[in-house]
Amino acid sequence: MIDMLLVLLIFLGTIFALIFTRFKAVEIFSFAVFMGVAMGSLSIEQLQSSATNSSLMILILLFFCTSVLEKTTLINHVKKHIISPSLTRTYWRLVSVTAFFSAFLNNTAVVSTLMSIVQNNRKISPAKLLIPLSYAAILGGTTTLIGTSTNLIVNGFLEKETNLSLAFLDFLPLGVSVTFVCLVVLYFLLPWLPEISPQKGQTKAYFIETSANANSKLIGRTVSENGLRHLDSLFLVEIIRQSKLISPVSPYEKIEGNDRLIFSGDVSAINQLQQFDGLELYASDDGLLDSNLVEVMISSRSSLIDKLVRKSGFRAKFDAAIVGVRRDGEELSGKIGDIKIREGDSLILAVGQDFYTRNNLEKNFYVVSDIPVHKLLNEKQSLFVFMGFVAVILFSALNVVPLLQGLFYFLALLLLTKMTNGYELSQRIPFQLWIIITSALSLASMLEQSGVLTHVVDIVKSSHVINTPFQALVVLYIATLILTELMTNNAAAALIFPLAIIFSETFQVDVKPFAMAVAMGASASFISPYGYQTNLMVFNLGQYHKKDFAKVGWVISVFYGLTVIFLLPHFFPF
């Protein structure tokens, strides 16, 4: 009984920590497993079994194989034909291409590849297309077993707890139905999205730091006298004088030696700042050319997250220096060096000659400019990789070769033909996701072995609050949806899956409908820009406000949920 209560406490504590604390999911799940091992509720053998779960191995092999697919020219060829003067044609081309590729490739990679052509087009407002781009990637991921890591996580739980598994195309009928309904609804919601002209969409308010050196001619003269009040597309927002912050800045404020002048505005206008004698950009200290600028966004896997700019070793790691910073439309303050880097931050970098040769760019950044970070494969190599991946998927769907085995052979072939190498693969190992899934599978084992699941089943049976499998399905979907908006989708799926087992055992019905409800519910992140990585990517790039996501997201979420709830029992009878 004590063991059961302790395991239940760990489980509830994990949910609480994920929702209400700022600790990372990987830290919370790791601590939960540590407590389980320390209390004797989890053995090392069980932990090892969770870490080598077949669905988890498939997920890791997919990360490796799709990293090579991302180097093919296929998406680059297709994306050239997406933009047209017609919003309707452009919308349907964009969402169709995105949904298709997201069914097989990493969603963030697909969005990262396509968002530059959306952002840089001169025909249609990027703000009309970037949210649809993200939503189409999310929806496309629901159509296949490998479309999103959430599907594989759920399948991993299903295999571990019941020895059953979902086939590659089991998701297809429901996923395609949901995708079609939601994309049609989203098309009619396009007028609700903000109207930002393509030209205006290129102007983003970046936080830019300069300093007046000791010999500057600006010293001793006021802001107005120096002409710092009438710059085109740049505004002087504050002055840092030793440890004193001056904001707002009066036009009569005199400039002193070593003052740091903080501007906000369009980075492409920084050449105006170079005309002032003795006024140096933050990046000037690194000796990089200010004209060679690249816009990047901090990825979720970046080692820079939560580090101060001045302590990040930016120049040594990337041969680049930060010129400007932008965060979710949030107004930043202080010195650039004192800014703590966060996931999703947009940076303008002054880059050196070695920037594009660094092997750590993909892990740390999404490059917003339309310059590829990695070397693309040639046409023959691209065709070889694409056909090889199609063969793996086809053989798996026809039950000729298991997916895990097929991906293993395919990866070995890619290594032998030097389409990839060990270093590239090492940069794509999803360590944090591996730890989270391993920990979640272990936590599920603890719940089962301690008797918590059996006890909850008895409570549900005797309470008569939920009387039918369909009612249980609705409750399970809504619970997953709520958790997905409060934490990451993978964490939500991992924590809610034990409830699917409980409902299946309570009503003595097939567990697959409940497993699918968890998978679909965990992918339904439309309302918050922070619920899914692709939402965060387009949120920054499109200059959206949170209300823009909420305004269209709740409608899509409702139609998505209704479609799932009413069609799921048809495709997966109880």
| 3-class SS string, 267-280 | HHHHHHHHHCCCEE
Residue 569 pLDDT > 90: yes
Provide the domain count of the chain. Answer: 1
Q: Are 129 and 94 in contact (CB under 8 A)?
A: yes
DSSP state string for 503-547: HHHHHT--SHHHHHHHHHHHT---S-TTSSHHHHHHHHHTT--HH
State whether residue 248 is helix, strand or coil.
coil
As a whole number of angstroms, the distance between CA 466 and CA 283 comes to: 62
Within a domain: 286: yes
Long-range CB contacts (within 8 A, 24+) of 463-471: 466/503, 466/506, 468/507, 469/503, 469/507, 469/509, 469/513, 469/574, 470/569, 470/574
Residue 327 is assigned to a structural domain of this protein: yes
Structure tokens at 204: 């983003």
What values do phi and psi take at 210, rounded to 5? -130, 170
CA max distance for the chain: 83
**Do the Cβ atoms of 337 and 309 come closer than 8 Å?**
yes
Does residue 105 lie within any of the structural domains? Answer: no
Residue 108 within a domain = no
Cα 445 to Cα 42: distance, rounded to the nearest angstrom: 8
User: What does the DSSP assignment read for 310-336?
Assistant: GGTTHHHHHSEEEEEEEBTTBPP-S-G
Residue type, 313: G
CATH number, domain of 250, equals 3.30.70.1450
* pLDDT(329) > 70: no
- State residue 555's pLDDT score: 96
- What pLDDT does 506 receive? 86
Residue 371 pLDDT greater than 50, yes or no: no
The yes-or-no verdict on residue 274 having pLDDT over 80 is no
The pLDDT value recorded for residue 431 is 83
* Local structure of 208: helix, strand or coil: strand
Q: Which helix (H) or strand (E) holds 118?
A: helix 107-119
The percentage of residues in the chain with a pLDDT greater than 90, rounded to a whole number, is 24
Per the domain annotation, does 459 fall within a domain?
Answer: no
Q: Which residue has the tokens 């498939």?
A: 58
In the three-class reduction of DSSP (H, G, I as helix; E, B as strand; rest coil), residue 297 is classed as strand
Does residue 215 fall inside a structural domain?
yes
CA–CA dist 536, 359 (Å, integer):
24
Tokens at 223, concatenated: 């802001």
Question: What distance in Å separates the CA atoms of residue 97 and residue 574, rounded to the nearest whole number?
Answer: 34
Whole-angstrom distance, CA of residue 1 vs CA of residue 133: 50
Task: Give, as one character, the DSSP assignment of residue 259.
Answer: P
The residue segments making up the domain with residue 266 are: 203-367
What three-state secondary structure class fits 89? helix
Is 185 a member of any domain?
Answer: no
Note whether residue 324 is domain-resident: yes
At residue 286, the pLDDT reads: 53
Greater pLDDT, 92 or 376: 92
Please check whether residue 191 is in contact with residue 125, taking contact to mean a CB–CB distance below 8 angstroms: no
Quick one: pLDDT at residue 138? 95
Residue-wise pLDDT tens digits, 437-466:
888 888 878 887 888 777 777 777 777 778
pLDDT tens by residue, 170-180: 999 999 999 99
* Lowest mean pLDDT segment, chosen from 152-161, 483-492, 560-569: 483-492
Q: Is residue 200 very low, low, confident or very high in pLDDT (cuts 50, 70, 90)?
A: very low
List the beta bridge partners of residue 366. Answer: 297
Token pair 């200059």 in the structure block, residue: 543
